[in-house]
């Protein structure tokens, strides 16, 4: 590659002072944001938060608990620290308050199962063809979520249910279910049925009618039976 | 679903004061972070930032410029507003300073092409099997990026080059290339060759040796010729 000489305008070499010039930071953060979703999903699948919740602290201990390599575990943990989902001090990892409540499988408010719906392949697929959806003004997925009996809603009802346990109890309290009035409750798109089960548990005089696609209704029925209703 | 009565502990219906209790916010933000990457990619592919840079402001005008639907365009634009990549006032969209510099195709610092590398399917695929990689302690992709002549590095060299134009000019200035000393420059993993081209343009006495995989070197050679070197 022999050299040649050309003119360069001074402005093309001007260096902006830090913090004053335009920044590509948001661009790179946004472009790489998908890595955050995938790291969280991998950590949940490896039960990494649960293992740390059991008291494992070093990457070696955590790796042993997750049946993973120490190197891979350390890199994943460090990424989760950067993104606020773990803490690290002197090479020992610990859960944040929110991770302890929502990501440890042994917590009653465990949300990890929600990823099965939030990151279900059918849902993620739609974002791979987002350009088509924007051109069309609606989903570009052929077997989209609004088709009757799409199994995605069974997955939804199963995996999002834990999130609704507390609100369902709160609803029963707010509606004074314990007064035992002879309610007639109509629930449209009942889903997992946790709200209705909670009302029924607190008010034995409630008569509840649940409507949903047959495959989802089957799950709501199972959940109700498991909760001692029905 | 007839009703039954069971006991519920009072603690399960305790409502934490806002901002004081644990929050699932980071969990949901992280789970859905992949949507941000995909929205940016779709907007760049639709040249949405470039169209807004041309002065189109309403979702209808922008949609016409992007050959897309007004509804899809409005939803995408609103999502980009929420994520700091656009501004919105009285239903009129405008570029942020950073979007104007880095996402408008007519800007000399346009970075949109970098998404072809940052979100290249081979790269994204690795994150779909992240659990395997953590178990193994290294990439779980068979045809991974470190294999000789993997075409991903041609894509890298092409799509990341615009980002390096300014640093390359800065390097030539810092090294006082204009003094024309008889340099011998050895560049290992030359990639797009922008640094070397810049040195050569500023110092006609520089002799530059570039090393890379043959397929990447071909691109560096083309870039140098296009810049009037060689």
Burial A105-124 (b: 16+ CB within 10 A, else e): eebebbbbbbbbbbbbeebb
Among candidate residues B107, B135, B150, the one where a domain is terminated: B107
CB-count exposure of residue B78 (10 Å: 0-12, 13-18, 19+): middle
Separation CA A37–CA B33 (nearest Å):
6
CB-CB contact of B22 with A98 (8 Å): yes
What residues in B contact A68, CB-CB < 8 Å? 134-135, 137
A116 shares a domain with A84:
no
Which residues fall within 8 angstroms of residue B168, CB to CB, at 6 or more apart? B194, B195, B197, B198
Pick the last residue of a domain from B66, B88, B107.
Answer: B107
| Containing structural domain, residue A128 | 111-230
**Which CATH number covers residue B102?**
1.10.10.10
Per the domain annotation, does B98 fall within a domain? yes
Classify residue A76: in a domain, yes or no: yes
Domain membership flag for residue B9: no
Judge whether residue B3 has pLDDT over 80.
Answer: no
DSSP secondary structure code for residue B16 in this structure: P
Put simply, the answer to whether A201 touches B6 (Cβ < 8 Å) is yes
3-state secondary structure of B177: helix
Evaluate if residue B10 carries a pLDDT over 60.
no
pLDDT at B124 over 70: yes
Q: How many interface pairs between A and B have CB atoms less than 8 angstroms apart?
A: 269
A213 and A119 share a domain?
Answer: yes
Query: Phi and psi dihedrals of A119, rounded to 5?
Result: -120, 30
- Cβ-contact B63, B73 below 8 angstroms: yes
Q: Quick count: other Cβ atoms within 10 Å of Cβ B120?
A: 16
d(CA A138, CA A126): 11
What ipTM is given for this predicted complex? 0.81
Query: Same domain, yes or no, for B66 and B89?
Result: yes
The continuous run of DSSP H or E covering B41 comes out as helix B33-45
Instruction: Indicate the angle between helix axes A194-202 and A152-174, nearest 10 degrees.
Output: 30
> Can you give the pLDDT of all 230 residues of chain A as single tens digits?
444 444 434 444 455 566 678 999 999 999 999 999 999 999 999 999 999 999 999 999 999 999 999 999 999 999 999 999 999 999 999 999 999 999 999 998 899 999 988 998 888 989 999 999 999 999 888 877 778 888 888 888 888 887 788 889 999 999 999 999 999 999 999 999 999 999 999 999 999 999 999 999 999 999 999 888 86
List CB contacts of A212: < 8 A, sequence separation 6 or more.
Answer: A153, A188, A189, A190, A191, A220
Cβ of B127 and A69 within 8 Å?
no
Q: Which residues of A touch B205 (CB under 8 A)?
A: 3
3-state class percentages of chain A: helix first, strand second, coil last, to nearest 5: 55, 10, 35
Question: Number of structural domains, chain A?
Answer: 2
Q: Which of A107, A142, A177 is the last residue of a domain?
A: A107
Query: Are B132 and B216 found together in one domain?
Result: yes
Provide the β-strand partners of residue A184: A207
Q: Which of A22, A30, A96, A174 would best serve as a mutation to test chain B binding (most B beta carbons within 10 A)? A: A30
Instruction: Give the residue from chain A lying closest to B31, CA to CA.
Output: A37
Say whether both A96 and A125 belong to one domain: no
Q: Are residues A224 and A178 in the same domain?
A: yes
The pLDDT tens digits of the residues spanning B60-114 come to: 999 999 999 999 999 999 999 999 999 999 999 999 999 999 999 999 889 999 9
Q: pLDDT at residue B1 above 50? A: no
Cα–Cα distance measured from residue A39 to residue A57, given in angstroms and rounded to the nearest whole number: 19
Angstroms from A34 CA to nearest CA on chain B: 4
Q: In this structure, is residue A71 part of a structural domain?
A: yes
CA dihedral over B42, B131, A153, A167, signed as positive or negative: negative
* Domain presence at residue A96: yes
- Res B142: pLDDT: 82
């Amino acid at each position: 590659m022999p050299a040649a000489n050309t003119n360069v305008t001074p402005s093309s070499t001007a260096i902006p002072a830090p913090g004053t010039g335009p920044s590509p930071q948001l661009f790179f953060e946004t472009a790489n944001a998908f890595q955050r979703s995938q790291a969280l999903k991998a950590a949940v699948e490896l039960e990494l938060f649960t293992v740390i919740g059991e008291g494992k602290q070093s990457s070696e201990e955590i790796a042993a608990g997750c049946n993973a390599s120490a190197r891979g575990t350390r890199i994943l943990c460090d990424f989760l620290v950067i993104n606020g989902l773990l803490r690290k001090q002197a090479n020992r990892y610990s859960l944040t308050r929110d991770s302890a409540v929502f990501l440890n499988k042994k917590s009653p408010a465990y949300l990890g199962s929600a990823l099965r719906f939030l990151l279900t392949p059918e849902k993620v697929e739609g974002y791979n063809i987002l350009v088509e959806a924007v051109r069309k003004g609606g989903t570009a997925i052929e077997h989209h979520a609004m088709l009757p009996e799409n199994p995605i809603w069974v997955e939804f009802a199963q995996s999002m249910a834990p999130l609704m346990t507390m609100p369902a109890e709160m609803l029963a309290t707010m509606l004074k279910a314990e007064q035992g009035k002879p309610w007639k409750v109509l629930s449209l798109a009942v889903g997992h049925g946790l709200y209705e089960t909670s009302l029924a548990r607190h008010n034995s005089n409630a008569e509840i009618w649940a409507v949903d696609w047959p495959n989802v209704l089957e799950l709501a029925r199972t959940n109700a039976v498991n909760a001692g209703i029905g």
